[in-house]
Structure formats: C-alpha cells, structure tokens
Amino acid sequence: MKTIPHAEPVPSEAATEVLAMLQSGDLFRYTADADSPVTRLEKEFARIMDVPFALAVNSCSSAIFLSLKALGLGSGESVLVPAFTFAAVPSSIVHAGCKPVLVDTGSDLRLDMDDFRRKLTSGIRAVVLSHMRGHTSDMDAIMEACQDRDVPIVEDAAHSLGTTWSGRKVGTLGRVGCFSFQSYKLINAGEGGMLIASDPDLVARAIIMSGAYEHNWEKHAIVNARFVEWQNKLPLFGLRMSNLGAAVALSQLPDVPRRARNGRENHDYLATKLTASGLFQVPKPLPQEVRAPDSIQFLLNGLDNAEDAAVFQQLAEKKGVNVQIFGHSRDNARAFWNWKFLEEQKGLSQTREVLMRTCDVRLPVHLQKAELDRIGGALVEVAQAVVPAKRSMCWQGSANGVYGDRVEAMNDSTTGQQSSGLAGL
Ligand SMILES: *Cc1c(COP(=O)(O)O)cnc(C)c1O
C-alpha cells in the first residue's frame, strides 16, 4: 500500500459514510432534498470560519476562478498576484479571462509592499493574494491600499487554514477566501476546494456558476432570495464537489485546530534548531500572525549559486531529507519563469533571487520530536559541509524579517522555550 507520507489517516467515520454512499449510489450533492454531505460540509466550514456562506467546489483553483467570475470580471481585466505562488493561481486568473500582473516577493516570502503599491494602479480590478506556504502578507497595509481604491481582494488561503491575523481567520479578511482540500493541504480529501464570503449576491452567482443548474440552488437555503435575479443568466461551469470528497473532508474538520497547532509547534521547534546553528535564516511570523505551517522554508546563507544549491540538495537527499529549492528544481510550478502560458515576465529580479535561494522542506503535522531532530541535524550537518565557513558568518546581524539571529536563538533555548516560544516572535 502506498501512503502519502505527510497525510494522517482519514478518520474512520468517513469510511462508514462512504460505504453507505457506495451502496445507495447517492454521490451527487443535489440528489438529496437536504443535508447532503456537501451541504453539511459547507455549513460546518462556514461555522468554523465564522462566515455566513461557504460554497464547496472541486478545487481551490476553481474557487479562485469562480471568485473572479462572481466579481463580474472576465474581459481582460488586470489582476495583481504575487510572483511567488503556485502555477494554478495565475492559471485560474487566465481561465477567468483576466490578465495576471505579478508582484515581487520579498525574502520573507511575502508580498513586497513597495512593488505592490507601485503596481496597484487604476487599471487593477482585483488582487488574488496567495499566502504562499502559509506566510501571510501584510494584510493591514494591503487591505488599506485596496479599500482606498475599492479593489476587491480574493485570498488564496490554500495553505492558511488555521492561520490567524490579529485574531481574525485568514481567508475571511478579503472579499472572498479560497481553500484547498488537495492531499498536500491541512485537510486531505484528494481534491476539493471551498469558497467563503459574506456577500450573498456574490455567493449566489458563484453557486449558480459552480453548476447549480435549474433550481438546484434552492438547496442552498441560506441565500435563496438572491437567486431569482440570476436564474438562467449565468454560465454553468461544472465545478461541483461530490459527496464522496465531502464526507472525507467533513470527517477531518474537527482535527483542524490540532493539526494547525502541531504544524506550528513542529515548524517553530525546527526553526529554533536551524537558526541556532547560525547557518540558516527562517522567515519569522509577522507580529499579527499565528501560523499553521505544514512545511518550513529557509535561506541558507552562502547558498547563492547553482552549484552550492545542487550539492546541498543532493547531500540532504542522501541523508533522507527532501529539500526543494524553488528556483532550482526543474520545471518547478512555483517559479514564475516556468509559466510559459503567460507573456514573458520582465523585472521581478527580487523574486527570482529569493526563489533561487529559498529551501523548502515539508513537515507533516504528525512528525515527532525525534524525527524533527533527525531532520534538523541532517540539514545542519549538510550545510556545514557545503557552505564555506566565511560566508556562513557574514550574514549575522544583517538579517531582516527572519527568526532571531544566532544569539537570540540561543537565548531562547537557554530559557527552555521551544516551539511555542517562537510563535510570538
Ligand atoms: C495547492 C494550492 C493551490 C491550488 O489548490 P488546488 O485545490 O489544487 O486547486 C493554490 N494556491 C496555493 C497557494 C496552493 O498551495
């Protein structure tokens, strides 16, 4: 049996429900009069996110696409999007008939606010904001800038379930929030996505366009009044979720807080270890942010050329740690220069440079301390072998927006603070 290394087993309640569905054949969300698994998932997701409306779809990509369509875009409008994101995101923008305009990403893997402000011109009709690898960009500044210009924000919160910003749930800060239940995300339904919003008219349009044909929208009782106006006026894109995926996702919702906490503790524990070695810089959370990571990103000081990077990656691999360097691995879907379906992107030299140096290691939320120690130990050992000593020393004190420098990190470990101590940094 092949298991996904970083997924937890799906809770057994899902098996009972799926088996019953296989026997009844009731797999389509709109067959039952009420309370199909998809409907229950929507209700429960909206409840835990404290939003009035949630629409389940077949992927986060579909949720982003539908968000733009429901905002009334699709005639070549320009949409800002971080240059560091997954290829599916600019793809969804293109799919919606819009034009992605890429914004530089800083070394903390968040939107570069200077470039954002420069590019937020009168021609921009929406922002699709990917919080890549769960790093939340400066939402206070972004929301203020967008409010001033009345530009809607679609949050791509695919990696942000369980993350908060000043106590508010990430994904609820923009006009629309989009989530993924693809297997590498906090909830693993194989595939699946969710669109959340509080504007009933926008949600009504999204529901119809997701494929609620004829009067199936009547099964979304919560926004009934809005639909009559849109009946037969919108295309049906067939992006619905099936009851099978919904039952699998539903069984995992109660685990979200625990998974988020485990992920954060694991990340921060390893971040402390790496930082204390003096060889790595780990982007630290913004003060408003409590994160829910399932991976760790770091810059290895001195790893600034292709040869060093390749050697580091290979040696780590030999020690059983899979390291991805976004800009190096062939055809990486997170490197914007590989998005050949867009016109050639000029500038963005900062993002390019960051992606050539940023390492990425997945951290399954169920990892135990011993395993984290092994990963951390291997990374430090390999870094010591690869990075010339002189370079490893020269960044100290110059780092901005990263976990504390070597001295601070050592202080942390002497106070006995491990995981939770870093979350507030
Ligand atoms: C996974 C991911 C997506 C795409 O999600 P799908 O459900 O596979 O469409 C979009 N954005 C980010 C940041 C992701 O990590």
The tens digit of pLDDT for each residue in 37-82 reads: 999 999 999 999 999 999 999 999 999 999 999 999 999 999 999 9
Q: 86 CA distance to ligand 1 centroid (A)?
A: 7
The protein residue with its alpha carbon nearest to ligand 1, atom 12, reads 158
Task: Give the single-character DSSP code of 100.
Answer: E
Nearest 5°: the CA angle 345, 346, 348 is 90
Query: Token pair for residue 254?
Result: 């109660």
The larger pLDDT score, comparing residue 380 to residue 4, is at 380
- What SS3 state is found at 105? strand
Cα–Cα distance, 215 to 207 (Å, whole number): 11
By the 8 A CB rule, do 185 and 195 touch? no
Report the atom number in ligand 1 closest to the C-alpha of 85.
13
Greatest pairwise CA separation for the chain in angstroms = 69
φ/ψ of 406, rounded to 5, equals: -55, -40
* pLDDT recorded at residue 373: 96
pLDDT-based confidence at residue 413 (cuts at 50, 70, 90):
very low
Pocket of ligand 1 (CB under 6 A): 59-61, 85-86, 88-89, 130, 132, 156, 158-159, 180, 182, 193
Q: 60 CA distance to ligand 1 centroid (A)?
A: 5
Cα–Cα distance, 328 to 313 (Å, whole number): 10
Among 4-18, 261-275, 346-360, 380-394, the range scoring the smallest mean pLDDT is: 380-394
pLDDT-based confidence at residue 2 (cuts at 50, 70, 90):
low
> Which pLDDT tens digit goes with each residue over 63-74?
999 999 999 999
Q: 163: which residues sit within 8 A by CB, 6+ positions away?
A: 131, 134, 136, 157, 169, 170, 260, 289, 290, 291, 292
* pLDDT recorded at residue 328: 84
pLDDT-based confidence at residue 401 (cuts at 50, 70, 90):
very low
Q: 408: which residues sit within 8 A by CB, 6+ positions away?
A: none
Among 163-172, 301-310, 408-417, the range scoring the smallest mean pLDDT is: 408-417
- What SS3 state is found at 101? strand
pLDDT-based confidence at residue 329 (cuts at 50, 70, 90):
confident
pLDDT-based confidence at residue 5 (cuts at 50, 70, 90):
low
Cα–Cα distance, 200 to 118 (Å, whole number): 32
* pLDDT recorded at residue 12: 94
By the 8 A CB rule, do 351 and 336 touch? yes
The larger pLDDT score, comparing residue 188 to residue 311, is at 188
101: which strand partners? Answer: 80
The protein residue with its alpha carbon nearest to ligand 1, atom 1, reads 158
**Global confidence as pTM:** 0.91
Q: Is residue 417 predicted with pLDDT exceeding 80? A: no
User: How far, in Å, are 108, 224, 407 from residue 180 at the CA level?
Assistant: 23, 26, 38
Cα–Cα distance, 160 to 291 (Å, whole number): 8
Q: 186: which residues sit within 8 A by CB, 6+ positions away?
A: 159, 161, 162, 256, 259, 260, 263, 292, 294, 365
pLDDT-based confidence at residue 27 (cuts at 50, 70, 90):
very high
> Which pLDDT tens digit goes with each residue over 282-299?
999 999 999 999 999 998
**Residue among 123, 120, 167 nearest 144 (CA):** 120
Query: Best mutation site among 67, 81, 86, 362 for ligand 1, i.e. most ligand atoms within 8 A of its Cβ?
Result: 86
The residue-averaged pLDDT of 112-122 equals: 98
Q: Is residue 419 predicted with pLDDT exceeding 60? A: no
